Structure 1
Amino acid sequence: MVSPKYVIDPKEGGEKKAGERTDPFRWMIDDCSSIANRGAETYYSGSFTACGFTWKLRLELVLEGDGEKYVGLYLSHVDAVSKNSVIKAIYKLFVYDQLHAEDIQKEGEDYFHSTSHDGFCCKIALNKFNSSKSGLLVNDCCIFGAEVLEAFSCKLDKEGLIHESLSLKKDLTPRIYTWVIKDVSKLTKILFAEVFAAGGYNWRICLYPNLPSFEDFLSVFLIMTNAASLSSKTRVYVDFSFCLLDQHNAKHWKLTVKHLFSSENRYYGCRNFLSREDVRDPSRGFLLNDTCIIEASVVVLGVDTIA
């Protein structure tokens, strides 16, 4: 998977705002041992401004991981929830050690947007957090904090990033085509059904009574008849099925396939769809008066474009 790449967005005042940096934001919580013993709960600080953007801290009590329990601290971008923007921030998260006057901190960078407005997590093991020797909890008081070093307004850089894109269709109503084939026992050559339309493209079923390499099987394929008109970078994503109807017992024989059709790959199907022995078996009901019925269901899921 290709990782998203962002560039500074000049339309959104994307210049570096380090010059507007404020002092570290510190958040003190009293009676902290009681909330730490309540289990998994979430607490938010008030909002604060740093590097021209609005933030708040989020505290998770208690995170579970690797059989251990943790206190987790996050930085949240307040505006990212409602605005269609991406903010890149370089920042620190810390828990203040009150006995030794120093911070336990984690520094890094993150992108904040409407679907991911929380950054990385600064985790402290719960047993360490509660230990009187750690200095993190003194007189039942703890201090958390964040320092935003730099922040940028960004946009997604699509050049060189997107290798392929799939545009999905909203209307997924299948097109059902029924093909009645008579005189099956006399078949000696390839048969083609009539052309039918589905999802804006033209299709037809192709039936091989016995391919040389699969002479004991019935082979069936779906062909996109107008595939030559497609761009060399365009592929059509199709969900289709073949169903040989059991005219006696309604125990039909069905195959479902998903495939990308293109100008160079215009047909797809199954060489060994069903053995000729099974087709001819009177108890299976696939032949009635030397006639079989094949149904094709075709749904165009979307169009795939190669960059």
Structure 2
Amino acid sequence: MYLWSYMSSITRECLSSLNDIEPYKHERKISEFTKLKNEVCSEEFTVGDCKWKLSLYPNGNSGQNGQNISVFLESVDAEGFDCKKKGGVNCYSAAAQSWGWPSFMPLCELNDPKKGFLVDDCCIVQADVSVVGVVNCLT
């Protein structure tokens, strides 16, 4: 009896590899970048039957104290996932809806005119997104 109740609580999952994986390039142009104070989100885009968006924090997210910009890829529909959706080594689920870089680049480097990252106070962020497999719960 104990073994049966232990076995009944195991979650079974199936990883489906996707064929013909091509990265999707998503680009977001942000004007008047140095005037921004809050998070900037891209429009939603679809890759591998999942909806995504880019989030950029021009003064960093929590813990960056205005020293770095932060960039994250977020799964828009992760709240409805029964289990995990995986992309490479990054796992998206209802509990972990985003993955990215809290310290993507120091603000002093981004704002340095000699580096050329900002042109006419415009910043372009591009993400190459590939979904290589999907994990589904078996019933």
Q: Give the TM-score of the pair, scaled to structure 1.
A: 0.39
Corresponding position: 1:224 with 2:105: no
In structure 1, give the amino acid aligned to 2:69: L
* Cα distance between partner residues in 2 of 1:260 and 1:235: 6
Residue pairs, 1:1-307, within 5 angstroms? 164-210=13-59, 211-214=61-64, 215-231=66-82, 234-239=83-88, 258-305=89-136
Distance 1:268 1:185, change over 3 A: same
Deviations 1:56-111 (A, max 9, x none): xxxxxxxxxxxxxxxxxxxxxxxxxxxxxxxxxxxxxxxxxxxxxxxxxxxxxxxx
* Cα distance between partner residues in 1 of 2:55 and 2:129: 14
Per mean C-alpha deviation after superposition, the further-off stretch among 163-172 and 205-214 is 163-172
* Cα distance between partner residues in 1 of 2:81 and 2:34: 38
Percentage identity across paired residues of the two chains: 29
* Cα distance between partner residues in 1 of 2:12 and 2:41: 37
More strand by share: 1
Cα RMSD between the aligned structures? Answer: 2.0
Secondary structure of 2:130 counterpart: strand
Q: Which runs of 4+ in 1 moved over 4 A?
A: 161-164
Q: How many residues align?
A: 128
Displacement of 1:282 in angstroms is 1.4
Displacement of 1:285 in angstroms is 1.4
Structure 2: stretches of 5+ with no match in the other structure? 1-9
| Residue aligning to 2:7 | none
Larger radius of gyration: 1
Structure 1: stretches of 5+ with no match in the other structure? 1-160, 240-257
* Cα distance between partner residues in 1 of 2:13 and 2:37: 43
* Cα distance between partner residues in 1 of 2:69 and 2:33: 11
Displacement of 1:166 in angstroms is 2.1
Displacement of 1:266 in angstroms is 0.9
Displacement of 1:263 in angstroms is 1.7
In structure 2, give the amino acid aligned to 1:227: A
* Cα distance between partner residues in 2 of 1:201 and 1:285: 34
* Cα distance between partner residues in 1 of 2:84 and 2:92: 5
* Cα distance between partner residues in 2 of 1:213 and 1:228: 25
Secondary structure of 2:119 counterpart: coil
Distance 1:188 1:164, change over 3 A: same
